[in-house]
Structure 1
Amino acid sequence: MTKESTYSLTNKQLSAVIGDEPNFIANLSNAAALLFENLPTINWAGFYLYDSNSDELVLGPFQGRVACIRIQNGKGVCGSAYAKKESIFVEDVNQFPGHIACDAASQSEIVVPLIKDGRIIGVLDIDAPITNRFDEIDQNYLEEFVQILLDPSII
């Protein structure tokens, strides 16, 4: 399968899996599992959700190894994507200033913000154990994935 066909199928599966389910955490959980199962050459897929009390991203549903629990707003790839309100993919995390190494095996990363009604509520984070894993194709399809995920949810 091509990268595009894998993502197209994954996005269709997400729509089917979440259906009319209104529980956001349940949907995030299944979304993380779907990405982890479908995307080749990744070692972590999950979500960090914004906690306004601490102004930090806090670990949400994920698949993969144990992860950092809190990420400061503006720090690392996740915090940077959150602060900028835009997707970021990093070809080599060892070259990213301030990268937070939750898993030393991760070599590249993509982060997509979760924006609902103009308000950023968290980020989707995916890591890979190889460099140069992510590109604009990943970004485009993952941004679509996030929109599918957010549309039916009650947040």
Structure 2
Amino acid sequence: MYDFQPDPGLDTAERHRQLFEAADALTSGEPDPVANMANVAALIWEFVPDLNWAGFYRMGDNADGAPELVLGPFVGRPACIRIPVGAGVCGAAAQSGETQLVEDVHAFPGHIACDAASRSEVVVPVVRKGEVIAVIDLDSASPSRFTEGDARGLEKLARLLSDRI
């Protein structure tokens, strides 16, 4: 049995270090990408405070064959199932290949409100061989919840997962 219980008093850097180590331990040697995304979404939920959604969107194709993001494993309220590349915060991360750190989602052009309670968001692309294969998406009901430290920690996690999902 796994019991990952981070100390609530940890600073951001230590919290992300422990999250990384736990994710590495759980995904190492496991070839199933859905199992790995599910476990990492649960770990993020345990390690990162003040979230109302944490999970993955995977790259896929729409009915016309155009690339889009498709909902993957997550923790939180039901979410948008498909997001066009370039649309909203997740689509912007997928299109640009760059982390999106958004203090106020309502001020983000084209924001897609899957959960009206969300106020801030960080989305990190997962890149394999130069291509975005997924994004890690965290939402919070608190404005300006996410920091550069969160973004850097999640980017390191995304690099670890690039060959595991």
Distance 1:44 1:10 in 2: 16
Per-residue CA deviations over 1:22-44 (Å, capped at 9, x if unaligned) read 11111011010100111100110
| Partner SS, residue 56 of structure 1 | strand
Question: Which of 1 and 2 has higher RCO (CA within 8 Å, sep 6+)?
Answer: 1
| Partner SS, residue 12 of structure 1 | helix
1:139 counterpart = 2:148: no
**Correspondent of 1:64 among 67, 76, 82:** 76
* TM-score computed with the length of structure 1 as normaliser: 0.95
* Identical columns (%): 47
**Cross-structure match for 2:6:** none
**Cross-structure match for 2:20:** 11
Superposition deviation, residue 56 in structure 1:
1.1
Pairing of 1:103-114 with structure 2 (within 5 A): 103-114=115-126
**Cross-structure match for 2:59:** 50
Distance 1:54 1:71 in 2: 11
* TM-score computed with the length of structure 2 as normaliser: 0.89
**Correspondent of 1:116 among 96, 114, 128:** 128
**Correspondent of 1:37 among 38, 41, 46:** 46
Superposition deviation, residue 136 in structure 1:
1.0
Contact 2:93 2:100 in 1 (8 A): yes
Give the count of matched residue pairs. Answer: 153
**Cross-structure match for 1:128:** 140
Superposition deviation, residue 117 in structure 1:
1.1
Counterpart residue identity of residue 162, structure 2? L
| Partner SS, residue 8 of structure 1 | helix
**Cross-structure match for 1:75:** 87
Superposition deviation, residue 118 in structure 1:
1.1
Aligned CA-pair RMSD: 1.0
Counterpart residue identity of residue 16, structure 1? A
Listed as ranges, the gaps of 5+ residues in structure 1 are none
Counterpart residue identity of residue 88, structure 2? G
**Correspondent of 1:22 among 31, 55, 74:** 31
Per-residue CA deviations over 1:40-97 (Å, capped at 9, x if unaligned) read 0011011111113342111011110000001011000000111111101100001111
Distance 1:59 1:112 in 2: 15
